Amino acid sequence: MDANIELKVKKVLAGLGINKKEKILVALSGGKDSSVTAYLLKKFGYNIEGFHIDLGMGDYSKNCLNAVKQLCEELEIKLHLYNIKEEMGGSMCYIRTSIQTSSGKGLKNCAICGVIKKWIMNKEARNLKVSKIATGHNLDDETQTFLMNMMKGSPQLSANSGAVTRNVKDRKFISRIKPLFYIAEEDIREYSKAKKLPVVYDKCPCALDSYRIQMRKFVNTLTAKEKENVMKNFEKLFPRIQKLKSEEKLNYCKICGEPSRNKICRMCELVKK
């Protein structure tokens, strides 16, 4: 099992053509997926540093921070910390609730949190002069997202996904890689336990997205092979999916200057700076 996972990840990484000297920032949450991502990149000799956003969500965040610190010590990698309370004036729960109250649109917790985390990550990664960000997205996450987009009738929303983000190249946009793209969640859990990695296995207390939860339940009924097949078919359909999306032109947000498809980026739209 271990050798199988390692082989698959090696293959994905080889396909991304990464130079082992270039610096990769691993987005560490304290969970199993990002911890295994860092462990494997280090094991395969890549030049990595860790990045963790302390979301200030009580004991859960404290446990995640401790796990990330321990992992970076064990892997002997540098850790960069971003404390959301200090940098943005409130915990993720506080920021999210303010947005939900003022927008009145019933925005989902993870949708808001995801936009904010991506915005922070891109900006900080650029400041740290890394060439790529590695995240722990796994086969289950990717299968859920692809199927959700298909069922919403919007396959074009998957047009930038893949083991490497396929957005338009831009000097301000740091591309993201997903080394665990073809590894099933259950296998990652077992691997993290076998390697005794310091990991928080509890679910995030704010993970509320009813559609994704429904899709997760369905994807959990599939075998690893079936999930792999869904994503292999996604790869086959990819050229056609790309044709569905409107031509992508990257602008810079008029408020914060970050790369954005629109004049104002999603982060600034949410926080109404």
Give the C-alpha separation, 198 to 75, whole Å. 11
For residue 253, the minimal CB distance to ligand SF4 (Å) is 21
- Residue (24 or 270) nearer to Zn ion, CB: 270
109 touching ligand SF4, by CB under 6 A: yes
Angle between helices 185-194 and 139-151 (to 10 degrees): 160
* The entry of ligand SF4, Zn ion, none that residue 113 binds, CB within 5 to 8 Å by partner kind: ligand SF4
Q: How far is the CB of 112 from ligand SF4 (least distance, A)?
A: 8
At residue 177, the 3 state secondary structure works out as strand
* Residue 139 touches ligand SF4, criterion: CB under 6 A: no
Q: Are 253 and 114 spatial neighbours (Cβ–Cβ below 8 Å)? A: no
**Residues sharing a CB contact under 8 Å with residue 217, sequence separation 6 or more, in sequence order:** none
CB nearer to ligand SF4: pick between 168 and 207: 207
* Among 49, 6, 52, CA closest to 25: 49
268 binds, among Zn ion, ligand SF4, none (CB under 5 to 8 A by kind): Zn ion
114 scored as a contact of ligand SF4 (CB under 6 A):
yes
Question: Residues 6 or more apart from 104 whose CB is under 8 A from it?
Answer: none
Q: Cα(185)–Cα(203) distance, rounded to whole angstroms?
A: 14
Q: Tell me how far CA of residue 83 lies from CA of 34, 147, 242, in angstroms.
A: 18, 34, 37
Smallest gap from Cβ 69 to Zn ion, in A, equals 31
- Between 186 and 205, how does the x/- string for binding to ligand SF4 read (CB under 6 A)? ------------------x-
Which option in Zn ion, ligand SF4, none does residue 109 bind, with CB closer than 5 to 8 A by kind? ligand SF4
Helix segments in 92-223, DSSP class H? 92-103, 109-127, 139-151, 185-194, 210-219
Residues at the interface with Zn ion (CB under 5 A): 253, 255-256, 265, 268
Shorter beta-carbon distance to ligand SF4: residue 91 or 143: 91
**Candidate list 28, 40, 48, 113; residue touching ligand SF4; CB under 6 A:** 113
Q: Which stretches of the chain bind ligand SF4, using CB under 6 A?
A: 109-110, 113-114, 204, 206-207
